[in-house]
Structure 1
Amino acid sequence: MTRSRLLLLGLVAALIALYYLSGADEALSLANLQAEQARFQAWFGERPLAVGGGFFLAYVAMAGLSLPGATLMTVLSGALFGFGWGLAIVSFASAQGATLAALIARTLLRGTLERRFAAQLERINAGIRREGAFYLFTLRLIPLFPFFVINLVMGLTRMRLTTFYWVSQLGMLPGTAVFVNAGRELGHLESLAGILSPGLIASFALIGLFPWLARGLVALARRRRLARRYGRPTRFDHDIVVIGGGSAGLVASYIAAAVKARVALVERERLGGDCLNTGCVPSKALIRAGRAAQEVRRAGGYGIEAGEPRVDFAAVMDHVRRAIDEIAPHDSRERYEGLGVEVHAGEAILEDPWRVRITGPDGERRLTTRHVIIASGASPAVPPLPGLEAVEVLTSDTLWRLETLPERLLVLGGGPIGCELGQAFARLGSRVALVEMGAQLLPREDAEIADQVARRLATEGVALHLGTRALRVVGDEAGGHALEVEHHDGAGEARRERLPFSHLLVAVGRRANVAGMGLEALGVETRDDGTLAVNESLQSVLPNVWACGDVAGPYQLTHAAAHQAWHATVNALFGELKRFRVSYRALPAVTFTDPEVARVGLNEREARERGVAYEVTRYPLAELDRAIAEGTAEGVVKVLTVPGRDRILGATIVGEGAGEMLAEFTLAMTHGIGLNKLLGTVHPYPTRSEAVKAAAGAWKNAHKPERLLGWLERYFAWRRSGAWRRGDARRER
């Protein structure tokens, strides 16, 4: 740190210390200043510039040093100076103090504040990139963060200080007026009866209503800016147009139609999206077929000899297609049109925020709509590997066209999709190799959880290549293809080898479908991972354009898409009255390997990354009677709680039926139920759900009151000794 910065740091520290050591933090109270109000106002009458200037400088210093009490001083200014003078003094002092705080942060504390306020800084920088000074104006008008945080974080942005000053001056003016007026009313308070005066009640009611009113004014200003830019229609055909007929789009359309909004749904391919046609439904049908084959192999362990199963892969794929066909009516055009949804087949393009052009089999048409919900989903990501163009690449979308069982299947990617499908094909008879660049499978899970899945896959014949990087696709000696990979041996030396395959399944993630809808031309931004940039209410930079599901992220799960769809639809239709922020705190997720991995909330890896204090309770399924009886005792229930308390931070289960057991923990986290209440709930015997109660019991046992138990031990020993009977006999005599 340079000498000038050290001097500035010393000056700031000295001023902060002086503030507290002088007792100024205690003297600045309404009671103290009200007691001196008459004398103070006399001074102000005699020397207005000196007294007002002193208050002005004190306010600038407090705001500039980010000291607590700026809101109180705003109220006090009204009590001491009245509304006019108070507003003038505080309005300029607050803006100048905020600018000073931003300058100090920019000069002195850049690194520290970037680390401490990383999330806020990213959101503010994104807002500035989208809307410039108008974004700062909305932050001032509707304080999502405390003003001192905005001051400090803004010091780290590239916004010019002159712009920061005048925007702050204007943005804080309405709120300042509300608080100064409240202080003026308090300054006139002479008795407790005055608390009920209409003026004071109105002032504090205005403080409560101001954020709501300001939010409405900002929304109105944004709508007018858009209207001037694009030409807003005078009337609309629809309340909502939903683009995408997958899980998110269908739920959004259903909700909108249920509340009698006029809604149009546009889908370019098949209704039901990935979940019905290429994802959840077919994969679970295939996984079930693989499990059936494995159950035949394991039957000998129960005294039933069945031998190696004969797999008819064509019949397996017929089973998969039947599952899709039987569920398809739930997502059909006929059903949704019966619910009141106007369904269109074709490509949708936003010409502006209110006009959607649809090009399909029936030609071209335009719809006008008050709101648009983007629910266009995601597609499998294919890495740019050299030589990949020479082979037919399978993905979770194209896999279902297979007619014959792959002889040698190479799976690239060790996430949930790669593990689920790799195990299923191995059970059906393919020779499977799985390549994962990371050190473990299921990289979002704790290592001990992922290791249990890895051990099972290896036992069932899946060749695991962890910590292995794919380099290129090459030809092999037999005229087929191989994947050249690189890994490091025990000595840290890089080693290369070639893994031959007949089929290559790429499962390295999915990319949001954002192209071709006109979003880029309208300024709707994407994040680094390719998903649409939306706020906590799922609103894009365009106030009437929303997004949900895989295209919005961060979780590519069917139930997450439905969860988001409710928020996006309700916020679009009723957001002028009430906005709902989407929460993922109790969002469950299941990996359908065998054993299953199910999780809700935090695991240890995430808790450490976020700096969340926790304690862990484990219950091994090897102690669960139902699991022992069925020979499926592999696995564990792992619960994270607040240290010393029973409040659940997260739960992870690995084992047979983990996804079904997880529901009780999800319910508990959603409704604030702790482990004590789970322990007090009767569970039927013998069921797997008893593992939840047993985990709660393990936590309780670790927190038993040892001192009380010691006293009880002595009490029962005394009762057993007969001494209490002798005492009773003496009293009777």
Structure 2
Amino acid sequence: MKTVQTDVAIIGAGSAGLPAYRAAKAAGASAILIEGGPYGTTCARVGCMPSKLLIAAAEAAHSASRTAPFGVHVDGTIRIDGREVMARVKGERDRFVGFVVESTEAIPEADRLIGYARFIDDGLLQVGDHTRVRARSVVIATGSSPFVPEMYRALGDRAIVNDDVFAWEDLPRKVAVVGAGVIGLELGQALSRLGVDVTVVGARGRVGPLSDPAVKDYAGKVFASEFRFEARAEVQAVSREGDSVTMRYRIGAGSGSGSEQVVEDTFDYVLVTAGRRANVSGLALENTTLVLDKDGVPVYDPLTLQAGTHPVFIAGDVNGVLPLLHEAADEGRSAGTNAAKFPDVVPLVRRAPISVVFSDPGVAMVGSRFADLVPDSFVVGEVSFEDQGRSRIMLRNRGLMHVYVDKVTRQFVGAEWIGPDAEHIAHLLAWALQMKLTVDAMLEMPFYHPVVEEGLRTALRGAVAGLRVSGE
């Protein structure tokens, strides 16, 4: 057993840990990066990149099946080869992972430790069975893992999480997706468009991240037109027989319609997308004087990422705030800098909130959610993409957008929508929000013709009309 000294110890070499290490070094501190699993981030291995590869295959299949309305006829049937689909997904995924691994291994060997870390006391870490690290500051960037409720664990390998999808050699015949959040909708729609019989069941009427009732209702109908989508269902029982899973669930409960129905169906797999949990159970945080919340995560300041008055900083998915790559990277840089300069700690300046579901049509949110805005403090501008010019030209005319504008300041404060090119429009709105633009300044910006963004202009004009009505 050897003991090493360092200014900053970073636990986790992922999307937050790597920037934390680089920031600490840039601040002039010594730093050690500790990783227990294989190098390569969650995003590259089982998150952003492989899921978008699967979605890209699904988009290709969907586009090929919709040429006839344009007068373009493809003779014969479209054949989807599941093995070829998954081979490309895994091959390109491995390429992306390789870039991350190469970058990580370029870090000096003396600054890298392989092994799972646990706290011996506030400033002393045990790494594997070979090294102890005495650190002046610690950054916890251990990420998160999919959560599987107890009732599904008895299904063995027939209950899977999104990580497992990207290990498939071939596409299955029939899948139930439990959870109607971002991951559930993205993978559910992609698998459906690749010929898999998909049922998505949610528990609380959720449709991705949406909180605006009208937009959420519209989006729910869009997804229900492609696969079986029950946004408000109660799974009553699951059982396994051989390589099949039988699920019984109740729909209509609490909807007020009075038409409850119990459905029983059989699937090859149950894909559980019931949220994620912080990876803290192996850190032995009970050996420290850190104050822990009910989930065992250190209580920390969301601005400085500091745990109480301790030289410990919590960054990335492990803190559960915004589990997005760019947010994890920003937090990692802030945590690494603060750890290196402790006790000189400065708050993290967050960027404009932006969230995207890579579905088709896309779902996006920017700024404040509808549910979080103070009632009567804002007006809503609306556009339907059903008659929007460019959207109709492309036969991608499904969507509804709501933009929110403050009545007093006339500033754009947020938006929720489903529609074509949502991921690109989201960036325009995030930039406008971060620049604190008014709706008037946004309408002074150029809008080319004919483009989908003209729909955004319609919504902004609607907000201006709403301000006139409200007397602002």
TM-score (norm 1): 0.59
Query: Which residue of 220, 238, 243 maps to 2:6?
Result: 238
Equivalences for 1:205-604 in 2 at 5 Å? 237-306=5-74, 308-335=77-104, 337-338=106-107, 342-359=111-128, 364-385=130-151, 388-389=154-155, 392-442=158-208, 444-460=210-226, 462-474=227-239, 480-488=244-252, 492=258, 495-528=261-294, 531-536=297-302, 537-541=304-308, 543-581=310-348, 583=350, 586-604=352-370
Equivalences for 1:118-197 in 2 at 5 Å? none
Change (3 A) 1:389 1:603: same
Change (3 A) 1:441 1:388: farther
> Which residue identity lines up with residue 289 of structure 1 in the other structure?
A
- Contact 2:27–2:337 (CA<8 Å) still a contact in 1? no
In structure 2, C-alpha distance between the alignment counterparts of 1:494 and 1:622, rounded to whole Å: 32
- The structural deviation recorded for 1:470 is 1.1
Residue number in structure 2 paired with 1:712: none
Equivalences for 1:81-92 in 2 at 5 Å? none
- Contact 2:404–2:463 (CA<8 Å) still a contact in 1? no
Larger strand share, 1 or 2? 2
Query: Which residue of 369, 372, 375 maps to 1:606?
Result: 372
- Percent pairwise identity: 27
RCO higher in structure (CA 8 A, sep ≥6): 2
- The structural deviation recorded for 1:238 is 2.3
- The structural deviation recorded for 1:690 is 3.6
- Contact 2:158–2:268 (CA<8 Å) still a contact in 1? no
In structure 1, C-alpha distance between the alignment counterparts of 2:319 and 2:53, rounded to whole Å: 27
- The structural deviation recorded for 1:479 is 8.3
- Contact 2:381–2:461 (CA<8 Å) still a contact in 1? no
Q: Name stretches of at least 5 consecutive residues in structure 1 with no aligned partner.
A: 1-234, 708-733
RMSD: 2.8
Q: Name stretches of at least 5 consecutive residues in structure 2 with no aligned partner.
A: none
- Contact 1:415–1:441 (CA<8 Å) still a contact in 2? yes
Residue number in structure 2 paired with 1:647: 411
- The structural deviation recorded for 1:580 is 0.9
- Contact 2:210–2:416 (CA<8 Å) still a contact in 1? no
Look up the SS of the partner of 2:166 in the other structure.
helix
CA offset digits 1:618-641 (Å, max 9, x no partner): 123345432222121221332111
- Contact 2:311–2:343 (CA<8 Å) still a contact in 1? no
Larger helix share, 1 or 2? 1
- The structural deviation recorded for 1:592 is 1.1
- The structural deviation recorded for 1:398 is 1.6
- The structural deviation recorded for 1:382 is 0.6
- Contact 2:137–2:339 (CA<8 Å) still a contact in 1? yes
- Contact 2:248–2:262 (CA<8 Å) still a contact in 1? yes
Residue number in structure 2 paired with 1:667: 431
- The structural deviation recorded for 1:422 is 0.6
In structure 2, C-alpha distance between the alignment counterparts of 1:677 and 1:466, rounded to whole Å: 38
In structure 1, C-alpha distance between the alignment counterparts of 2:293 and 2:404, rounded to whole Å: 31
> Which residue identity lines up with residue 510 of structure 1 in the other structure?
R
In structure 1, C-alpha distance between the alignment counterparts of 2:376 and 2:341, rounded to whole Å: 35
Look up the SS of the partner of 2:145 in the other structure.
strand
Residue number in structure 2 paired with 1:75: none
Look up the SS of the partner of 1:253 in the other structure.
helix
Change (3 A) 1:257 1:529: same
TM-score (norm 2): 0.90
CA offset digits 1:560-617 (Å, max 9, x no partner): 2122223222322335345114547x21111111111111122222225xx6722111
- The structural deviation recorded for 1:391 is 5.3
Change (3 A) 1:340 1:644: farther
Query: Which residue of 422, 427, 444 maps to 1:658?
Result: 422
Look up the SS of the partner of 2:16 in the other structure.
helix
Change (3 A) 1:555 1:245: same
- Contact 1:252–1:569 (CA<8 Å) still a contact in 2? yes
- Contact 2:248–2:264 (CA<8 Å) still a contact in 1? yes
- Contact 1:567–1:581 (CA<8 Å) still a contact in 2? yes
Residue number in structure 2 paired with 1:187: none
> Which residue identity lines up with residue 572 of structure 1 in the other structure?
A
- The structural deviation recorded for 1:688 is 3.0
Farther off after superposition, 506-515 or 378-387 = 378-387
- Contact 1:486–1:497 (CA<8 Å) still a contact in 2? yes
- Contact 1:456–1:594 (CA<8 Å) still a contact in 2? no
- Contact 1:395–1:507 (CA<8 Å) still a contact in 2? yes
Q: Which has the larger radius of gyration?
A: 1
In structure 2, C-alpha distance between the alignment counterparts of 1:494 and 1:256, rounded to whole Å: 57
Farther off after superposition, 428-437 or 573-582 = 573-582
How many positions carry a matched residue from both structures? 465
Change (3 A) 1:491 1:624: closer
Farther off after superposition, 384-393 or 596-605 = 384-393
